[in-house]
Amino acid sequence: MKCEDVRAALLVGDFDAPERMAIEAHLAGCRACRADQPLITRLRAVLASPSLWEEPSSDLGDRIVGSLQRRRESPKRVRVGSWVAAGAAVMVLIATGFGLTRLGSATPDWTLDLAVVEPLPNAVAGVDGWVTDTGTRMVLEISGIDEAPDGHYYEIWMTAPDGRHVSAGTFTGPGTVTAFAGVRRADFPRLWISLESIDGELGPSSKTYFDTPE
């Protein structure tokens, strides 16, 4: 299954056992879809509100078909109820800023395996990155590190050749992390992760866990 098919299926929440297996297999190998799955699941829960189903517009079907980028199913399996549910979810996505662009192709523009700086034998950090109109979007898969100590957090940095730093977000432990920075990686090529103190100075500390390989 392709990313758009999996996300449409998660939005609808109506699939049989073989399709469930295909979705799980895709999620196991796609960092981007795993990162977005919790939000898609929450949005599907919003569909339980009766207000979403009151007096649907006459052109709802056409809007659904155009918005979902045509989930690849045979006509006999495309049920009206499923398309209506998915269409309502798309409208919620737009209202919450999730955006249709994230329902499209999730093929990253670049990938990177960060080098481990701390002596952590099982630590791994992989990054998928996308170039957007407003900066750089990233999905990181991080494992082999502990939860940040009390009063601390991990921070993702992008650094330019002249030493300027831009934060791309923070997190507190291993797992899938979605990050964004309002700069291009072409201009800020170094990507790295440090441990920061909540009461510490602004800017990166010297405690680096992962860094861009030389």
Q: Are the C-beta atoms of 175 and 162 separated by less than 8 Å?
A: no
Banded pLDDT at 61 (limits 50, 70, 90) = low
Least confident of 9-23, 26-40, 97-111: 97-111
Q: Where are the domains of the chain?
A: 3-103, 110-211
Banded pLDDT at 203 (limits 50, 70, 90) = confident
Q: Are the C-beta atoms of 191 and 169 separated by less than 8 Å?
A: no
Higher pLDDT, residue 128 or 74: 128
Q: Are the C-beta atoms of 129 and 109 separated by less than 8 Å?
A: yes
What pLDDT, on a 0 to 100 scale, did the predictor assign at position 214?
A: 85
**The model's pTM:** 0.58
What pLDDT, on a 0 to 100 scale, did the predictor assign at position 82?
A: 47
DSSP code per residue over 65-114: HHHTT-----GGG--HHHHHHHHHHHHHHHHHT--GGGGS----SEEEEP
Higher pLDDT, residue 31 or 159: 159
Which amino acid is present at 81? G
- The end-to-end CA distance of the chain, in Å, is 36
What pLDDT, on a 0 to 100 scale, did the predictor assign at position 102?
A: 43
What pLDDT, on a 0 to 100 scale, did the predictor assign at position 142?
A: 93
Query: What is the average pLDDT across 38-61?
Result: 63
Query: What is the average pLDDT across 21-36?
Result: 82
Higher pLDDT, residue 101 or 189: 189
What pLDDT, on a 0 to 100 scale, did the predictor assign at position 12?
A: 74
Architecture of domain 110-211: Sandwich (2.60)
